[in-house]
Amino acid sequence: MTKVRYENDIQTEVLKDKKIAVVGYGSQGHAHALNLRESGYDVVVGLRPGKSQQKAEEDGFDVHSVAEAVSQADVVMVLLPDEHQTAVYTESIKSNLQPGNAIAFAHGFNIHFSQIVPPEDVDVFLVAPKGPGHLVRRTYEGGAGVPALFGVYQDVTGNAAELALAYAQGIGAARAGVLETTFQEETETDLFGEQAVLCGGLTSLIKAGFETLTEAGYQPEVAYFECLHEMKLIVDLIYEGGLENMRYSISDTAQWGDFASGPRIVDEDTKARMKEVLTDIQTGEFAKGWILENQANRPKFNAINKKENNHQIEKVGKELRELMPFVKQPLQAKQSKQKD
């Protein structure tokens, strides 16, 4: 099995005397900055004026412009949206990096697809938490962590891997386990996972099931429970103990249905299309499309987003969740309440 590193395997000295600039204070940014500070590191935050800046200041950070934060720091973690990183890097980061500094990322996209070409005299590493930023923070506060991948793209000081590991430790990831990867592997597997399985695969599966039932005349509320609400309950069982644990808990009828019908839904054709999706990621075709979509101000992204938000499953779900106070409030609603 591949080596998984935990807190005792990591030397943190290499990062202790360094100043870390966390650039961005969104989902990942706020979690990294707060966790690092509570782990004893010296953190400044780099931002443009706006809501995030206000929030970081309220949380007690020294907040500077991106250029100013980068010029003060030894280690710069770039936690801006991937599609804005190149512009901010070119304008405010690049010329403020000193030889021997380190620049770091939580996702390899811009380095791997050459949107950012870092100077040759800095370390470049990756610490990619395998979970949403709000969980990186919440689990840390609870004494645990979210697992992370680390990788080194460029090592000029000879310490890049140690720095990455110490950083992973600082955000709490080493409490859960840290695995070594490369920028290429992290980028390609992350994109594939979210497209084929976690986000794209899952939302399409849920909607197709819901539509099949409602088009056959069943009540949308019942279809919602069967195809969406119960998903979490099933996934929790899988998360805790694998497929076997979930199958132990469901009825034998459900398990027989799983064996008999599952492979009719996700079959060899589906897998062949998954391979096409992976090929588009590996060849840069997906990256090119996403970069161009952003350059065009996201016409397709916005149109699809609007249509998706108006899907019947979203309307039924909203009504039903209001009747289920035990279902946690969405992060979005919570955040806007905090911000107001």
Active site residues: 107
Is there binding between residue 241 and ligand NDP (CB under 6 A)?
no
Dump strand ranges (E) for the chain.
4-5, 19-23, 42-46, 63-64, 75-78, 102-105, 123-129, 148-154, 178-180
Closest Cα partner for 190 from 275, 131, 123?
A: 131
Tell which one of 6, 19, 26, 258 touches ligand NDP (CB under 6 A): 26
| Six token digits for residue 165 | 């590991």
Give, in order, the Cα–Cα distances in Å from 93 to each of 48, 167, 230: 13, 20, 46
Among candidates 314, 304, 302, which has minimal Cα distance to 200? 304
Residue 172 found at the interface with ligand NDP (CB under 6 A): no
Listing DSSP states for 223-292 in one string gives: HHIIIIIHHHHHHHHHHHHHHHHHHHHS-HHHHHHHHHHHHHHS-HHHHHHHHHHHHHHHTTHHHHHHHH
Annotation-wise, does 190 bind a ligand?
Answer: yes
Indicate whether 171 belongs to the interface with ligand NDP (CB under 6 A): no
Contact 48, 65 (CB under 8 A): yes
Does 93 engage in binding with ligand NDP (CB under 6 A)?
no
Q: Does 187 bind ligand NDP (CB under 6 A)?
A: no
| CA atoms of 89 and 223, how far apart (whole Å) | 47
Q: Quote the DSSP letter at residue 118.
A: -
Per-residue binding string, Mg ion, 173-192, x by CB under 5 A, is: -----------------x--
Question: What is the closest distance, in whole angstroms, from the C-beta atom of residue 84 to ligand NDP in the complex?
Answer: 4
Assess 288 for contact with ligand NDP (CB under 6 A): no
Is 77 among the residues that bind ligand NDP (CB under 6 A)? no
Least distance to ligand NDP from the beta carbon of 316, Å? 27
24 binding ligand NDP? (CB under 6 A): yes
> 27 a known binding residue?
yes
28 sits near ligand NDP (criterion: CB under 6 A): yes
As measured in angstroms, the least distance from the Cβ of 11 to ligand NDP is: 25
Minimum gap (Å) between residue 53 Cβ and ligand NDP: 6
Residues placed in the known binding site for substrate: 251
Contacts to ligand NDP by CB under 6 A: 24-29, 47-48, 50-52, 66, 79-82, 84, 88, 106-107, 128-129, 132-133
Annotated binding site for NADP(+): 25-28, 48, 52, 133
Residue ranges of the annotated binding site for Mg(2+) are 190, 194, 226, 230
